[in-house]
Amino acid sequence: MENPFVCGKVVRGKCFADRKAEIEELTSDIASSQSVILFSPRRYGKTSLILEVLDRVRAQGVLTLYLDLFKVTSQETFITAYAKEIAGLHGGGIRTVLKKVRDLLPRLIPKVVVKGQKADIEFEFDRPADKTPLLDDLFEAVATVSSQQGKRAAVVFDEFQEIAGWDVGGEVERQMRTHFQLHGNVSYIFMGSKRHLMQDIFRNKNRPFYRFGKHFPLGKIPEDEFADFIRKRFEETGFQIDSEAINEILRTTEDHPYYTQLLCHILWDRRREKNVVVKEDIPEAVSEVFLREAHAFCDLWDMLPRKARQLLVALAKEEGPQGQIFSNDFLRKHNLGPASSIQRAVAGLLKEEVLEKVDDKYQYTDIFFKRWLKKTFV
């Protein structure tokens, strides 16, 4: 029997713990063509949630387009990737689709690529030099299809903060805003995991997307929903698990979606002969979580400058979030040297999302990284 707990990949259908309230809110945003800026720390379930929402609204007749900007490394790859998704909005045979995309994107050359049994459409550039009219076509296309078909549309840009890496002069961002703000039938959804980069795009008065849409910080999965999910998944696969064990799992992972699935995955594997999970099984499974993640934690650690490491060790020694990390007391207690060098380290750690600042206090974004540091260095 297959392990019912999936970690690291996008989760769909049965593997997805209902985020009922979030699904409802996003579905209603799309129904009213509200644009949304959705962000959360890494591996909270943004992509899984939005793909679930898109499945549902598509079933209600909404046109949907999803583009992951992690895969995009330049303006050219952005244009061809977005054009390909636009081609995907059309049903019908390949010839019909070709005709439709030629009308919508006359400055791009579509070509049919056959992979195995499947024919797919990709794009080449006509005149590589001037891309501005091409961007105009591109950013009008979804709204045009939406009004031609009399349907609402939802367009998702996942990992939108990545745009900063290649849209150096900000041309694409400006063009997007110019077009998107006029589209009454389209909900644009921008997602990202780097809070400071997302905030800079959407909260900085000098950026084109200033105040473009509603901000939607995605939290962890509500504990009662997650507990039901865990129980169901164990029981469906013939396991027994009591509430005490489920509560202990969620207490250990602090309801973090990815770590909860990982811990359950390991527990399921370790107990598959006996088909029973009890609270006492958890500590050893947690050690295995550390073993599996050690590689990623070591890589991150290697990347960090010395001052940042010292500060992280100091924070790992303390219980809970810390407010006074620049105070003389804190600096002296942990032998951290002058406040100015710690300020630089903090700025770097916030930028890399290793730390986050909540209610004026600094804390680790990844509680398992904190625990790993504590085990390894404290």
Ligand X SMILES: Nc1ncnc2c1ncn2[C@@H]1O[C@H](COP(=O)(O)OP(=O)(O)OP(=O)(O)O)[C@@H](O)[C@H]1O
Binding residue (CB under 5 A) for Mg ion from 35, 40, 47, 175: 47
Q: Which does 17 bind (CB under 5 to 8 A by kind): ligand X, Mg ion, none?
A: ligand X
Minimal distance, residue 202 CB to ligand X, in Å: 17
Q: Which does 40 bind (CB under 5 to 8 A by kind): ligand X, Mg ion, none?
A: ligand X
Q: Which does 94 bind (CB under 5 to 8 A by kind): Mg ion, ligand X, none?
A: none
Q: Which does 312 bind (CB under 5 to 8 A by kind): ligand X, Mg ion, none?
A: none
Minimal distance, residue 319 CB to Mg ion, in Å: 31
Minimal distance, residue 47 CB to Mg ion, in Å: 3
Nearest CB to Mg ion, comparing residues 40 and 310: 40
Residues that bind ligand X (CB under 6 A): 6-11, 16-17, 19, 40, 42-48, 193, 221, 257-258, 261
Nearest CB to Mg ion, comparing residues 162 and 281: 162
Nearest CB to Mg ion, comparing residues 43 and 100: 43
Minimal distance, residue 70 CB to ligand X, in Å: 8
Minimal distance, residue 330 CB to ligand X, in Å: 31
For the chain, give the secondary structure using H, E and C: CCCCCCCCCCCCHHHCCCCHHHHHHHHHHHHCCCCEEEECCCCCCHHHHHHHHHHHHHHCCCEEEEEEHHHCCCHHHHHHHHHHHHHCCCCCCHHHHHHHHHHHCCCEEEEEEEECCEEEEEEEECCCCCCHHHHHHHHHHHHHHHHHHCCCEEEEEECHHHHHHCCCCCHHHHHHHHHHCCCCCEEEEEEECCHHHHHHHHHCCCCCCCCCCEEEECCCCCHHHHHHHHHHHHHHCCCEECHHHHHHHHHHHCCCHHHHHHHHHHHHHHCCCCCEECHHHHHHHHHHHHHHHHHHHHHHHHHCCHHHHHHHHHHHHCCCCECCCCCHHHHHHCCCCCHHHHHHHHHHHHHCCCEEEECCEEEECCHHHHHHHHHHHC
Nearest CB to ligand X, comparing residues 139 and 258: 258
Minimal distance, residue 78 CB to Mg ion, in Å: 18
Under the binding rule (CB under 5 A), the answer on residue 161 touching Mg ion is no
Contact set with Mg ion (CB under 5 A): 46-47
